[in-house]
Structure formats: structure tokens, C-alpha cells
Amino acid sequence: MTELSRRHELTAAVLVDEEFDIEECRQAMQAYCREVVLVRNPYSGDGLAKRLLQLRSLASTRSFERLRATVPAFQQALTRLLRATRFDIINLEFPYLGHYHLRQAPPGERLPPLVVDSHEIAYDLARQFARTGGSLDRRLYAGVNWRKLRREELGTYRAADGVYLCSAFDEQRLLEQVPDARTAVIPNAADVDFYQPRSSDPPPDGRSVVYFGLLSTAPNIDGVIHFVQDIWPRIAQAHPEAHCKIIGGRAPASLLALAGPRVELTGFVPDLRPHLASAAAIVVPLRQGGGTRLKIVEAMAMAKAIVSTTLGAEGIEAVPGRDLLIEDNPAAFADAVSRLLADPGLATRLGRSGRRLAVERYAWRAAAGALEGFYREILHREILEVAS
């Protein structure tokens, strides 16, 4: 959005979770948006309210994700906005919001085309969790919910004028279900001017192994537990000075319980860069997920050595052994991290190569340019269809 705002006028309408300060969000977004419309989501909390909504979803034909994102005040705000201003494109972030009435325009104006940004195939992620994640109760619940989510998500894709995805893998998954969809691959991108090595940052300390991400999501929860329980003990035994640092907000009790003398959970940090700079290695031990992992792109931009699973690096055009290390077996993953702890030269070479890749392939400017091209393709087709 920052890059697009250099050449276009942007308006954002957002459902805001309870953890965020609305005015702080508004002030930050006004740097790149002409207008910002923010509506508090009363269903965004955890605890009892979330559990009650999950129970309600069991008796509903709608998924939990759809129920959680159904806020009448948000539709009212969208309607006021869309009927007052003509937009060239409606860009929908996440198919969870596909049930809102978005095809609206001022009287006498054409309806704007709808383009969906699919960060991942959400129902496929939910299906993964139903098979392998969490307790039996959670897997059974996910087994019911993902089928509802699939119907809703595919319905949103079918109704859209275009869908863009983070990886060719997800694009292929979508086209298998919706062969007529107009699609494009727009990779996850990093602000490579913000995320870059700085002389003011601390140097690598030779001992810190870092994982970072939003710790409330199922893939991150599973990845952290897998790393701390199955991989970290091998690293800790081989390197008594090594330290595991897990960075991210909203960690559940299952992750907080993993903290110990050599395993630190920092919580949310306002600036990742010093933490990444001092790390000897970044780990991405994911076993669930879709799309592409922004954490890899940001770590590459910071010129950090990365060890990832195959799934964790899916969709990233990185060469194993040149840009990062890929291992799926816990013992081999631990050995790869140990190599980086023992060989700072290898970590430096991988980091420099990853930084070059991030700048050339995964910078905001490149992603925004590709997205503009997709928008123009959609608009051109709309013009041709009207003319015919």
C-alpha cells in the first residue's frame, strides 16, 4: 500500500481487533491512505466469547471465521463509503470477508471490479490442522469447520474478477478448484530499505537461535512446540552456550510453558531488527501453513542465515545451500543450526546471498509493480467486456 500510494489514491476500510488502538492505527495508515475507515470487531477477543462463538458455529451453516467477521456496523460503513465515492478497484484482503456486499457504486457509476488477495488457501490450512494439530477435540472441531470454510472461500474466489496469491503452489491449488479464475502470483514482500543490516545494530552473538512470528496462529504454535521439544534439545546439547529466543505476541499458555533458562519468549517487540541482527541463525520449523512466509523474506532482507523446513520455504525462490538451509528431519534440522553456530563464515555467506535475493525478487517495489499490472489487466478486460 505504501508503494501503491505513490501513484494512486487509496482508501482503506478495516475491521479492527480488540488488541489494537484504533487511533494509533488510523494515524499510521493515514501516511499512505487518502481515507481510513476503522470499525471495531466485537467478536475478535479470545476466551469465553470465542468459545461461545465456536459453539454457535457448530449449529450454523457458516464457518467460525465467517461468523467472527460478520459485523453489521462494518457493512453499514462499507455501504456509505462505496455509495459516496467511485473506486476503480475493490481489493479484498482475505476471503473471510467475501460475504460483505462490496459491489456498490454511486448512482449512475459502474460497479468496480473485485480483486481478492489470498494470503493462503485458508480452508486447506484448516484441513491440515484437522488432521494433525492440537487436541482430539480441536481436530474434530476443525474437521467440521474446514468444509464450511471451503464452500465460503471457493464461493468468494468464483465471484471475484481476479485473485492473487503468494505462491505458484497456492495458485495451482486454487485453479484445480476454480479453473476459470483469473489469477496472478504476487509474492510476499519486505520493506528491504527498513529491513537491512545497519551499523548501529548489534553484531551476531554466535549463540542466539531466533524464531519470530504471531504466536497465536496454529502453524506458528505447532512450529514452536515442534522446535523446542524435538529439535532444540539436540542443539542445546551440542552447544551449551546456545540460547533460543522466540519473538512474537499473543503466545498461548502452551507456548509460555516452554520458557526456561535457555528458552526465552520475549512477547511482542516494537522493532525486530536488533533481535534479528544479533541472531546467529533464524529458524522456520513449520509443518503446517500455506502461502509464503513473510518471516523468511524479512530475515533474508536482514542478511540472516536461515534454516527452514521445505514447507516453511514453500513458494520462496531460494536455492538451498546458497540462500538458506532446508531440512525436514528433526536431527538434520538441528545439525544445520549447529553448523551455523560453529561456522559464522557460512552464516555470513548465506545471509549475503539471501539479502541479494530479497532485494531482487521480494522488495515492496517489485510486488507493487506486479500488483499494478494485474489491476490493469482486470480493468482492461472489464472495458473490453463492456464494449462488446
pLDDT at 131: 87
pLDDT at 106: 98
Residue 13: C-alpha distances to residues 5, 17, 110, 317 (Å): 15, 13, 20, 33
Residues of the chain under the 70 pLDDT cut: none
pLDDT at 57: 94
Phi and psi at 40, nearest 5°, equal -65, 135
pLDDT at 178: 98
Strand order in the sheet with 325-326: 263-267, 243-247, 208-212, 281-284, 306-308, 325-326
3-class state of residue 292 by DSSP: coil
Please state which CATH class domain 208-362 belongs to: alpha beta
Q: Can you say how many angstroms the Cα of residue 59 is from the centroid of all Cα atoms in its chain?
A: 30
* Nearest residue to 82 via CA among 111, 122, 117, 56: 111
Q: Give the H/E segment covering residue 247.
A: strand 243-247
Q: What is the 3-state secondary structure (H, E, C) of 109-165?
A: CCCCCEEEEECCCHHHHHHHHHHHCCCHHHHHHHHHHHHHHHHHHHHHHHHCCEEEE
* Nearest residue to 301 via CA among 209, 372, 365, 245: 365
For β-strands 325-326 and 263-267, DSSP reports them as unpaired
pTM for the predicted model, two decimal places:
0.90
For 159-207, give the DSSP string. HSSEEEES-HHHHHHHHHH-TT--EEE----B-TTTSS--TTSPPP-SS
pLDDT at 384: 86
pLDDT at 228: 98
Domain covering 4-189+365-387, topology: Rossmann fold (3.40.50)
4-189+365-387 and 208-362, same CATH topology: yes
Q: What are the structural domain ranges in the chain?
A: 4-189+365-387, 208-362
Contact between residue 116 and residue 162 where contact means Cβ atoms under 8 Å apart = yes
pLDDT at 359: 97
